[in-house]
Amino acid sequence: MEESLNIGVLISGRGSNLQAIIDGIEQGKVAAKISLVVSNNPDAYGLERARKHGIPAVVVDHRMYSTRQEFETVVIERLNEKGVELVVLAGFMRVLTEHFLKAFPLRVINIHPALLPSFPGVGVQAKAVDYGVRFSGCTVHFVNEGVDTGPIIAQAVVPVYPTDTGEILADRILKMEHQIYPKVIHWIAERRVRVEGRRVFVEGAKMDEEIAHIEPVA
Ligand code: GAR
């Protein structure tokens, strides 16, 4: 069998990005294997998705721990037990501290439903609509100690229309999330992603003038 990247996916809810990654792997587009899904929320629908595909899934409920560090220590242990090489945050709604990031240096990525550095944090699709921006989108980035501040790997842009609500925009953005997140994981699996300070370079990436809404195109 071909060598593939061992990934762990952290979720808190619906898990549609998890599903897009599972589908990408099953279709042979993503050279990775999901060794473990971890949810901090026992009711996350994403747990069901993992089980349906025979992927090991565990709950580490943050409410059971008195400090962030204790919670993170358990998550780190679970991921290490499975030999996870890349941690993929997919709708994971807990901020990770330095303690966790030290265990996986430059090995944690996140998807955020806005064009960072605009609109970090939560509820950002509605914030983009309320602000009146004409474009929004999503960002895949390495996670650092800040909230949504790590080096940007890829972004995709969508228009914002006057008739949009936060929900309508969220759906439009989500479709792009499902396209770019599996791609980025594949690039990392192929060892094509290199970080220099804040800048991230993807080997073999094209600067596409026709499909300018995803950058880079690789
Ligand atoms: C996605 O839109 C993701 O970008 C966002 O939560 C949603 C999860 O959906 N993540 C964040 O806001 C992280 N701060 P999913 O559970 O269906 O993948």
Counting atoms of ligand 1 from 1, which one is nearest the CA of 173? Answer: 2
Determine whether domain 112-203 maps to CATH 3.40.50.170.
Answer: yes
pLDDT, residue 1, reads: 45
Q: Write out pLDDT tens, residues 120-173.
A: 999 999 999 999 999 999 999 999 999 999 999 999 999 999 999 999 999 999
Catalytic status, residue 53: no
Identify the bridge partners of residue 59 per DSSP, sorted by sequence position: 39
Q: How far is the CA of 2 from the centre of ligand 1 (A)?
A: 30
Average pLDDT for the chain:
94
Token readout for 27 is 């279709």
Q: What is the DSSP letter of 206?
A: B
Q: How far apart are CA 24 and CA 30, in angstroms?
A: 5
Q: How far is the CA of 139 from the centre of ligand 1 (A)?
A: 11
Residues with CB under 6 A from ligand 1: 11, 13-17, 90-91, 111-113, 122, 174, 177
Given a contact cutoff of 8 angstroms between Cβ atoms, the answer to whether 206 and 218 are in contact is yes
How far, in Å, are 58, 168, 183, 210, 217 from residue 171 at the CA level?
A: 28, 5, 19, 23, 22
Q: Which residue has the higher pLDDT, 204 or 79?
A: 79
Q: How far apart are CA 85 and CA 68, in angstroms?
A: 22
Q: Do domains 1-105 and 112-203 have the same CATH topology?
A: yes
Token readout for 46 is 């994403």
- Could you say which architecture CATH assigns to the domain 1-105? 3-Layer(aba) Sandwich (3.40)
Domains of the chain, residue spans: 1-105, 112-203
Sign of CA dihedral 201, 206, 207, 208: negative
